[in-house]
Amino acid sequence: MTEVSTASAAIEAIHLTKRVSDATGELTILQDVHFTVPSGATLAIVGASGSGKSTLLGLLAGLDTPTEGSVRIGGIDIFALDEDGRAKVRKEKLGFVFQSFQLVAHMNALENVMLPLELQGAGDARPKAEAMLERVGLASRLKHYPKYLSGGEQQRVALARAFVTQPPLLFADEPTGSLDAATGEAVIQLMFELNRERGSTLVLVTHDPMIAARCGRVITIAAGKLV
């Protein structure tokens, strides 16, 4: 991958290594992974199951800590911060879309999308959330709880929640992994449309080469190393 100046980088992975220990000894999950993603880019991280790609995404988001190396988001070294500091960066700069949706079961669709806005202290959370749900085609499902929504509808709520704060950086971890092919295609198309509209940087983990091909850049992880 062509490197870019750090001044224009949305995210930088700096020689990331992750090792864990178990009863059999030490296991290296990632080894010396280094790359830079410019602002506004779309990046797919691909690799076989167990290759370390989801671990890499967790490190990039500051949800896990590396054994060696660091990550800069918008020029901020997130591992120079404590957990509260990293949580603040995530709240202000990141959106997330997960394979398992991660919706709050006791909140309806509207409340789920309002949640990140309320955590930011936004005074107009409700109208913004309503507008975002209308944008993803769920204006008639605002009061429905996750258990009454289909998988595709739940993932559209998750997309609305991720984009509603207009974060500069969006992470997606196998966002269609729980969906059938037709529903997954619709969700992916919507995600890329929203990303273009918002001008955010997208970092996507996928095992699907067709999805990866839609991104401007693709990197492959094999046995914990950048290929």
Give the pLDDT confidence score for residue 4 in this predicted structure. 44
Best-predicted range by mean pLDDT (104-113, 156-165, 193-202): 104-113
Give the pLDDT confidence score for residue 141 in this predicted structure. 94
Contact 159, 194 (CB under 8 A): yes
- pLDDT tens-digit series, residues 203-212: 999 988 889 9
Could you give the CA distance from residue 6 to residue 114 in angstroms, rounded to a whole number?
33
Could you give the CA distance from residue 156 to residue 82 in angstroms, rounded to a whole number?
32
Mean pLDDT, the chain, rounded, equals: 90
Q: pLDDT at residue 48 above 50?
A: yes
**DSSP letter (8 states) at residue 146:** G
Local confidence band at 2 (pLDDT 50, 70, 90 cut-offs): very low
Local confidence band at 6 (pLDDT 50, 70, 90 cut-offs): low
When pLDDT is averaged across residues 11-20 and rounded to a whole number, the result is 95
